[in-house]
Amino acid sequence: MKREVPISKAKWIMEPGCVLLVTSGESGNANVMTISWQTPIRSGEPCHVLLVINPARYTCELIMKSGQLVINVPGSDLLGQVHRAGTVSGREVDKFERLGLTAVPAQKVAPPLIDECAAHLECEVERNVELGHHRLLVCRVVRAVADDAYFNGTWDPERFHTLHYLGGKRYGLLCNSTEA
């Protein structure tokens, strides 16, 4: 039996997307934010990613100032830090210090990478579209790097478990693969 889903809950039909940690700012003023509203929108050269972010967030303020960000891909071993990063503002605390994360310099943008994450997309914002209470950021990937122990063109879900937000404090894991 299928039942109506309120439009306000419709996004959960397509979720869960991979949870990411977005870094913004620069050395000495860097911030970390948890985000799950994202999708690749153009593959190839250049690659583009769409992020949906609330403009009230400190991360959004920092991104708007520099036009740059880093998308970091955490694994299940960072579940606690991923969840806590979404519960406190970087205006109030140094999230890298609070979460025990290591900031390392990026090569092509000012915001740092998170060393504990398995992959990173260094990005420049090409478009910023206001839509209701959120901004749609079209980001051009200028550098991509991933741990080859877990990523060889796609993730190896038997070895690396991406996090997928299910609402509240619930997360799912990508733990295996199958073939059609």
Q: What is the mean pLDDT of residues 73-101?
A: 93
At residue 45, the pLDDT reads: 78
Cα distance between residue 83 and residue 175, in whole Å: 19
| Domains recognised in the chain with CATH numbers | 7-173 (2.30.110.10)
DSSP 8-state code for residue 118: S
Question: Using one digit for the tens of pLDDT, what is the confidence trace for 30-78?
Answer: 999 999 888 888 777 788 889 999 999 999 999 999 999 999 999 999 9
Cα distance between residue 122 and residue 134, in whole Å: 22
The Cα-based distances of 15 to 12, 91, 97 in angstroms read 5, 29, 30
At residue 176, the pLDDT reads: 81
Q: Is the pLDDT of residue 90 over 60?
A: yes
At residue 2, the pLDDT reads: 62
Provide the percentage of residues in the chain whose pLDDT is more than 90: 54
- Measured from the Cβ of residue 84, the count of other Cβ atoms closer than 10 Å reads 15
Of the CA atoms within 13 Å of residue 50, those in its CB half-sphere come to 12
DSSP 73-92: E-BGGGHHHHHHHTTS-TTT
At residue 107, the pLDDT reads: 95
At residue 117, the pLDDT reads: 96
DSSP 8-state code for residue 15: P
Cα distance between residue 91 and residue 150, in whole Å: 34
Q: Is the pLDDT of residue 127 over 70?
A: yes
